[in-house]
């Protein structure tokens, strides 16, 4: 099964050999055979195959250069020069990663007396990625489908009209744009990136899916009017996946959602996942609700929400009216919903919450359409079986009763365990005891 799944992925991502004119040769191999054989081959094997003959070279090169990772500690100018010289290779690249590679901190030598000083100065000089670089890549890589940016600096444009953007229809539409770790290029330290500079990166290339992780943003003083207009409705994506650090509690998250609402095309989102990128304050919930209404109403199908519901349950948080600002009732076509419950504070010896954590879940689910088909509940930091069966901490039985009454179309209840110190059998036994409906559906165990 694993090989079959990988084979399907390879066929989906494989180079278009027919377009290359390779399969038109009278000695050509069936396209599925090429994808299966060369798709599982290592880089060294593909390199060796490319040296056998002209035909072997034409077949293996698209697989050899299908995925490329470029690591630099200053800039990517040499990579752009490489693409100019090797245009025949550039047309094969479909998956590109631009990453930061820290300079080697070798011991100082007599010829480098200022080594330690230079190392400290250059420590935060990450490669700068801006709209100009991405437009250049789009021009040189016509078949690019996935772009990953890892631990880079986002550079602002010196002027709004410094580059003549091509129409979106002329740019390659990416299947996925991933940005993991991003800082400001204007500072000499790892400083939070301005959200409107980051939106320059997001809107440079059209993409079906946008994934961000560990991005710390700054919206000091609110958005400049010009920046707000420049990004108006330019993000036309189907999927947005945002993942924060486990200790990500930025009070400016509401401003982040406001900026995304201005930049996103209306009713474009089909899937939204916010992992540790939400706060329970009413101001942040209000901004998130406006973003959901603008980008997801009538369109959103999957929504994963991670509030890290732990510690004290504040007044009104178990009241459905408190969560009405999320405007989840506007997402009338929602089919899948997920939420996270963390037991960190309980494990640290603090008393049980004012009301069980499931009461907050019930209050939120009261705004979800009854046509919901899949529900994911994530329990984090479970260390004792009693925590799952406890009526004071979780009270999963009350949640199970509510699900049976409100969601008659519910097909799958997925229960995940993160950072659990119990084995799968103990977790499953405890969960089945308080949520009998899980036994008829599905349960997943995840160790992180």
254-280: pLDDT as tens digits: 888 888 898 899 999 999 998 877 777
- DSSP letter for each residue of 172-218: PPBSEEEEEEEEESSSSS-PPEEHHHHHHHHTTS-BSEEEEEEE-EE
- Check whether 305 has a pLDDT greater than 50: yes
Percent of the chain predicted with pLDDT > 70:
65
* pLDDT for the residue numbered 325: 94
The verdict on pTM exceeding 0.85 is: no
Q: How far is CA 343 from the centre of its chain?
A: 25
Structure tokens at 185: 């290029």
- Residue 377: pLDDT band (50, 70, 90) is confident
- Check whether 221 has a pLDDT greater than 50: no
Between 398 and 439, the higher pLDDT residue: 398
Structure tokens at 181: 């770790």
* pLDDT for the residue numbered 324: 94
* pLDDT for the residue numbered 21: 45
What angle, 0 to 180 degrees and rounded to 10, lies between the N-to-C axes of helices 54-64 and 31-39? Answer: 60
* pLDDT for the residue numbered 118: 39
Q: What is the pLDDT of residues 74-98, one digit of tens each?
A: 789 899 999 998 888 888 899 999 9
* pLDDT for the residue numbered 211: 93
Q: Which of 219-223, 301-305, 397-401 has the lowest mean pLDDT?
A: 219-223
Mean residue pLDDT of the chain comes to 75
Q: How far is CA 337 from the centre of its chain?
A: 17
Residues with Cβ < 8 Å from 185, sequence gap 6 or more? Answer: 126, 128, 130, 153, 154, 155, 156
- Residue 321: pLDDT band (50, 70, 90) is very high
Residue 393 CA to residue 417 CA, distance in Å, equals 16
Burial (CB count within 10 angstroms: exposed 0-12, middle 13-18, buried 19+), residue 432: middle
Q: Where are the domains of the chain?
A: 1-64, 67-263, 301-448
Q: What is the pLDDT of residues 180-202, one digit of tens each?
A: 888 776 655 556 677 778 888 88
* pLDDT for the residue numbered 24: 44
Q: What is the pLDDT of residues 143-174, one digit of tens each?
A: 999 999 988 888 765 544 444 556 666 777 89
- Check whether 307 has a pLDDT greater than 80: no
């Amino acid at each position: 099964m694993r090989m079959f799944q990988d084979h399907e992925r390879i066929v989906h991502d494989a180079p278009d050999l027919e377009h290359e004119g390779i399969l038109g040769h009278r000695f050509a191999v069936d396209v599925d055979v090429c994808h299966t054989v060369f798709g599982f081959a290592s880089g060294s094997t593909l390199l060796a195959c490319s040296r056998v003959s002209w035909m072997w070279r034409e077949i293996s090169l698209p697989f050899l250069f299908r995925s490329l990772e470029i690591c630099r500690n200053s800039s990517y100018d040499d990579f752009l020069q490489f693409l100019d010289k090797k245009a025949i290779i550039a047309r094969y690249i479909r998956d590109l990663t631009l990453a930061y590679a820290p300079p080697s901190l070798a011991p100082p030598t007599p010829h480098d007396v200022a080594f330690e000083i230079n190392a400290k100065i250059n420590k935060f000089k990450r490669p700068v990625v801006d709209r100009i670089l991405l437009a250049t890549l789009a021009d040189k890589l016509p078949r690019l489908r996935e772009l990953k940016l890892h631990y880079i600096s986002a550079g602002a444009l010196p002027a709004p009209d410094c580059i003549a953007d091509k129409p979106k229809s002329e740019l390659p539409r990416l299947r996925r744009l991933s940005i993991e770790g991003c800082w400001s290029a204007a500072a000499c330290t790892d400083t939070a990136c301005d959200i409107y500079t980051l939106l320059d990166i997001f809107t440079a290339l059209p993409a079906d899916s946008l994934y961000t992780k560990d991005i710390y943003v700054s919206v000091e003083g609110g958005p400049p009017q010009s920046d707000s207009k420049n990004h108006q409705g330019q993000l036309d994506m189907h999927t947005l996946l945002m993942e924060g650090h486990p200790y990500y509690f930025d009070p400016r998250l509401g401003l982040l959602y406001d900026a995304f609402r201005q930049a996103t095309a209306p009713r474009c989102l089909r899937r939204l996942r916010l992992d540790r990128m939400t706060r329970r304050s009413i101001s942040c919930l209000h901004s998130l609700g406006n973003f959901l209404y603008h980008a997801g109403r009538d369109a959103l199908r999957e929504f994963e929400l991670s509030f890290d519901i732990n510690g004290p349950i504040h007044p009104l948080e178990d009241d459905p009216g408190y969560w009405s600002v999320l405007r989840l009732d506007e997402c009338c076509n929602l089919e899948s919903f997920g939420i996270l419950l963390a037991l960190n504070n309980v494990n640290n010896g603090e008393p049980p919450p004012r009301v069980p954590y499931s009461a907050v879940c019930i209050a939120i689910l009261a705004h979800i359409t009854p046509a919901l088909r899949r529900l994911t509940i994530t329990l984090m930091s479970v260390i004792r079986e009693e925590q799952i069966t406890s009526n004071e901490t979780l009270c999963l039985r009350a949640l199970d009763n509510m699900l049976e009454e409100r969601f008659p179309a519910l097909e799958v209840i997925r229960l995940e365990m993160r950072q659990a110190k119990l084995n799968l059998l103990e977790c499953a036994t405890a969960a089945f005891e308080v949520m009998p409906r899980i036994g008829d559906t599905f349960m997943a165990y995840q160790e992180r």
